[in-house]
Amino acid sequence: MRYFGFAMLLLLSAVFVFGAEVDGNWTGTIPGMDIPVAYTFKADGATLTGTSSGPENATIPIKDGKIDGSNISFSVTFDFGGQETKIDYKGIVSPGQIKLTFDMMGQQSEIILKKAK
């Protein structure tokens, strides 16, 4: 019985080491602006790659993507009125949802992404 308990603890620990499932398409809306956004993520170990797209369907590659358990971080760089703008994101992945926070030009905001079906 003691070995069974140890085996279960080891199995549950493995779930947290590998983190939540982030691969796939995720959608959300920027709060207060009702601007739809979409992300496609692909995990490869501790590296996160993928793309972001906004209201004009411009696809922007994510950069510096990292995964640490259920935490993710990445950045996107795009042209905003002729000026290159970088946005850094941090998020927490849970089943079917990612809670992202980001800072753009001194304004911090949060997006809740849902797994696209």
Calpha distance 71→52 (Å, rounded): 18
pLDDT of 114 strictly over 50: yes
The CATH number of 20-115 is 2.40.128.20
User: Looking at residue 8, what is its pLDDT?
Assistant: 38
Structure tokens, 60 = 């922007």
Local structure of 5: helix, strand or coil:
helix
Q: Are 115 and 39 in contact (CB under 8 A)?
A: no
User: Looking at residue 4, what is its pLDDT?
Assistant: 36
Q: What is the pLDDT of residues 14-32, one digit of tens each?
A: 333 345 699 999 999 988 8
Q: What is the pLDDT of residues 49-85, one digit of tens each?
A: 999 987 667 889 999 999 999 999 999 988 778 888 8
- Mean per-residue pLDDT, 101-108: 83
Domains of the chain: which residue ranges? Answer: 20-115
Calpha distance 18→20 (Å, rounded): 7
Place of tokens 């922007």: 60
User: Looking at residue 113, what is its pLDDT?
Assistant: 96
Scored b (16 or more CB within 10 A) or e, 39-64 reads bbbebeeeebebbbeeeeeeebebee
